[in-house]
């Protein structure tokens, strides 16, 4: 065994007792130094550019993107970094050029993966966050934001259905990292020694998730040293929902081989079909075999805000952890992803390293608000304020109305397409989320008998037939 590394003799004392001072210098050779008129004028000029861009983005008559190939875009502009400073006018030109070739994600005709739009309150909140320019690791550097994270996570846990909103959580840099946190916690819960001794101290662990789940489960397993082959993919039914009987069968199979099932990730809102796994049946199995149940609700978690749709997540309150990304269905600016955890204290125990220079134990306030040591990160970006401020502005019922309306629209599209000549739904039944999955069959292959042949042709024709920007079903136009 490797000898325990010796603690540096007096580091603890040193960290706490002397002062280490960092100097910063905000170059006076440049105008960007302080609150003088020239600087303030510059900021206002940038704001004017941004406001004009926003107005333009919402105008459906403008282009969504002025598209150029990477090499073209590189050649058309001088993006190179120079030794010499540019003038503020040059900087404004750079800002305009950046926006000119950007994609207008707020545009009514913009469609892309899983996030879009630009909420004005969310935007204002993000501008404030940038201005505050701080870090989530301790209460002393982010008193308000730390409290707002506390309040918001508690509210989200209440909505999940954990009693009194008890539990833990963190805002992380995206759903993939939130899912990785969950896997890390599950492993630690079952084998706390893994933190010190690594995977070589534990039996072969296996995780389970549906074949339709997000690739981040495998990515997490690869990173955590579990390995992608130890993520067992469970069959989904025709509509994309995990089949509980197959889950149980595969768990038993794994146990027979001497492996230890430690983690099931159910998906609430799959990436492609928008399917919701049957959480109650899954949780019964997890309880029976004593396995951590995670719900990846990155995409579908927001349906918890809707009284009409939250039944699709029935059983989520039985989960040990839940990923929920307000930057998706709740249209909070990127990025904003929460991991909610039912057990208190586990995150801290799993991740803490007692960094004495940062998390001093002799501070004069309640240290439970220093959240840094439960994170994988050291510094952590402030992602909370935009969600909190939007929630204040809309209220829970505002989010609910927004979600309900989106789901109405997807049903509208479904009804329009399902019996339409030349279209074929990918699976029968109404969409569960806003994903509407269909094939367009060009006339040439519409009546082909050979299914394989047909599929091959479809494969080639569909991407060209459907550049997403040609489809426009935003509320205003429907």
**Residues within window 282-321 making contact with a second copy, judged by CB under 8 A:** none
The burial of 130, by beta-carbon neighbours within 10 Å (0-12 exposed, 13-18 middle, 19 or more buried), is given as exposed
Q: How far, in Å, CA of 2 to CA of 323, rounded?
A: 36
CB of 78 to a second copy, least distance (A): 10
Binding mask 367-406 for a second copy (x = CB under 8 A): --x------xxxxxxx--x--xxxxxxxxxxx--xx--xx
**From candidates 61, 81, 443, 449, binder to a second copy by CB under 8 A:** 81
CB of 189 to a second copy, least distance (A): 14
**From candidates 260, 334, 445, 448, binder to a second copy by CB under 8 A:** 334
By C-beta, is 447 or 451 nearer to a second copy?
451
Q: Does 443 bind a second copy (CB under 8 A)?
A: no
By C-beta, is 315 or 329 nearer to a second copy?
329
DSSP letters for 393-411: HHHHHHHHHHHHHHHHHHH
By C-beta, is 10 or 290 nearer to a second copy?
10
The string over 221-249, giving b where at least 16 C-beta atoms fall within 10 Å of a residue's C-beta and e elsewhere, is beebebeeebbbbbebeebbbbbbebbbe
**From candidates 267, 306, 323, 351, binder to a second copy by CB under 8 A:** 351
By C-beta, is 271 or 283 nearer to a second copy?
271
By C-beta, is 206 or 318 nearer to a second copy?
206
The interface region with a second copy, picked from 210-218, 276-284, 308-316, 338-346 by CB under 8 A, is 210-218
- List the interface residues with a second copy, window 102-141 (CB under 8 A): 102-103, 105-106, 111-128, 130-135, 139-141
# residues contacting a second copy (CB under 8 A): 226
Q: Does 75 bind a second copy (CB under 8 A)?
A: no
User: Quick check: 275 and 212 in contact, CB under 8 A?
Assistant: yes
Q: How far, in Å, CA of 342 to CA of 251, rounded?
A: 23
Q: How far, in Å, CA of 338 to CA of 175, rounded?
A: 8
CB of 466 to a second copy, least distance (A): 5
CB of 190 to a second copy, least distance (A): 13
User: Quick check: 299 and 271 in contact, CB under 8 A?
Assistant: yes
- List the interface residues with a second copy, window 229-248 (CB under 8 A): 229-233, 236
By C-beta, is 104 or 318 nearer to a second copy?
104
**From candidates 345, 429, 442, 468, binder to a second copy by CB under 8 A:** 468
Q: Which residues pair with 267 in a beta bridge?
A: 296
- List the interface residues with a second copy, window 168-187 (CB under 8 A): 173-177, 180, 184, 187
Please choose, from the candidates 44, 401, 343, 323, the residue with its C-alpha nearest in 3D space to the C-alpha of residue 192: 343
Q: How far, in Å, CA of 49 to CA of 46, rounded?
A: 5
Q: Does 415 bind a second copy (CB under 8 A)?
A: no
By C-beta, is 268 or 315 nearer to a second copy?
268
Q: Does 442 bind a second copy (CB under 8 A)?
A: no
**From candidates 437, 445, 448, 454, binder to a second copy by CB under 8 A:** 437
Please choose, from the candidates 426, 420, 427, 405, the residue with its C-alpha nearest in 3D space to the C-alpha of residue 475: 405
Q: Does 338 bind a second copy (CB under 8 A)?
A: no
| Measured CA distances, 95 to 50, 88, 349 (Å) | 9, 11, 45
**From candidates 25, 256, 444, 451, binder to a second copy by CB under 8 A:** 25
The interface region with a second copy, picked from 30-38, 282-290, 316-324, 338-346 by CB under 8 A, is 30-38
Per the structure block, which two tokens stand in for 149? 């994270």
**Own/partner pairs, 35-38, CB within 8 angstroms, 24+ separation:** none
The string over 167-179, giving b where at least 16 C-beta atoms fall within 10 Å of a residue's C-beta and e elsewhere, is bbbbbbebbbbbb
By C-beta, is 241 or 318 nearer to a second copy?
241
Q: Which residues pair with 294 in a beta bridge?
A: 265, 321
By C-beta, is 128 or 280 nearer to a second copy?
128
**Residue with token string 């501070």:** 363
Q: Does 200 bind a second copy (CB under 8 A)?
A: yes
By C-beta, is 317 or 370 nearer to a second copy?
370
The interface region with a second copy, picked from 9-17, 286-294, 316-324, 340-348 by CB under 8 A, is 9-17
Q: Does 73 bind a second copy (CB under 8 A)?
A: yes
Strands 260-267 and 423-425, by their bridges, are: unpaired
**From candidates 163, 249, 288, 357, binder to a second copy by CB under 8 A:** 357
By C-beta, is 318 or 394 nearer to a second copy?
394
DSSP letters for 33-84: TSS-HHHHHHHHHHHHHHHHHHHHHT-TTS-S-----HHHHHHHS-----SS
Q: Does 349 bind a second copy (CB under 8 A)?
A: no
Please choose, from the candidates 115, 109, 64, the residue with its C-alpha nearest in 3D space to the C-alpha of residue 334: 115
| Measured CA distances, 293 to 82, 163, 257, 279 (Å) | 52, 18, 21, 9
Per the structure block, which two tokens stand in for 202? 């534990």
Q: How far, in Å, CA of 40 to CA of 46, rounded?
A: 10
């Amino acid at each position: 065994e490797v000898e325990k590394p010796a603690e540096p003799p007096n580091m603890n004392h040193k960290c706490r007792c002397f002062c280490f001072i960092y100097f910063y210098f905000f170059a006076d050779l440049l105008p960007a130094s302080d609150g003088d008129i020239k600087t303030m004028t510059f900021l206002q000029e940038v704001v004017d550019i941004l406001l004009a861009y926003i107005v333009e983005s919402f105008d459906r008559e403008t282009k969504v993107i002025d598209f150029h190939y990477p090499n073209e875009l590189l050649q058309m502009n001088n993006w190179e970094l120079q030794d010499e400073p540019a003038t503020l006018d040059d900087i404004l030109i750079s800002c305009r050029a950046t926006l000119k070739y950007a994609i207008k994600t707020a545009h009514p005709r913009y469609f892309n993966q899983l996030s879009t739009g630009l909420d004005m309150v969310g935007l204002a909140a993000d501008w404030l966050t940038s201005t505050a320019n701080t870090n989530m690791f301790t209460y002393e550097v982010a008193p308000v934001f730390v409290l707002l994270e506390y309040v918001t996570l508690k509210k989200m846990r209440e909505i999940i259905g954990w009693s009194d909103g008890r539990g833990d959580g963190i805002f992380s840099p995206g759903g993939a990292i939130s899912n990785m946190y969950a896997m890390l916690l599950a492993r630690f819960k079952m084998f706390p020694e893994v933190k010190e001794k690594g995977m070589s101290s534990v039996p072969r662990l296996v995780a389970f998730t549906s074949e339709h789940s997000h690739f981040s489960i495998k990515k997490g397993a690869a990173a955590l040293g579990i390995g992608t082959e130890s993520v067992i993919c469970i069959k989904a039914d025709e509509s994309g929902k995990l089949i509980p009987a197959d889950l149980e069968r595969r768990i038993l199979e794994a146990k027979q081989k001497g492996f230890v099932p430690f983690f099931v990730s159910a998906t609430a809102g799959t990436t492609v079909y928008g399917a919701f796994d049957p959480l109650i049946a899954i949780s019964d199995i997890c309880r029976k075999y004593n396995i951590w149940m995670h719900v990846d609700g990155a995409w579908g978690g927001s349906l918890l805000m809707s009284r009409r749709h939250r039944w699709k997540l029935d059983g989520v309150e039985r989960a040990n952890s839940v990923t929920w990304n307000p930057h998706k269905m709740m249209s909070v600016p990127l990025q904003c992803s929460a991991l909610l955890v039912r057990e208190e204290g586990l995150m801290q125990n799993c991740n803490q390293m007692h960094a004495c220079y940062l998390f001093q134990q002799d501070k004069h306030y309640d240290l439970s608000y220093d959240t840094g040591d439960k994170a994988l990160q050291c510094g952590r970006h402030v992602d909370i304020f935009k969600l909190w401020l939007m929630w204040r502005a809309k209220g829970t019922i505002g989010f609910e109305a927004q979600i309900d309306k989106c789901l109405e629209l997807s049903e509208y599209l479904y009804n329009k397409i399902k019996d339409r000549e030349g279209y074929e739904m990918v699976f029968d039944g109404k969409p569960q989320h806003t994903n509407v999955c269909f094939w367009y069959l060009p006339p040439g292959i519409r009546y082909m008998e050979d299914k394989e042949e047909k599929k091959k042709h479809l494969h080639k024709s569909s991407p060209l037939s459907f550049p997403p920007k040609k489809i426009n079903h935003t509320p205003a136009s429907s």
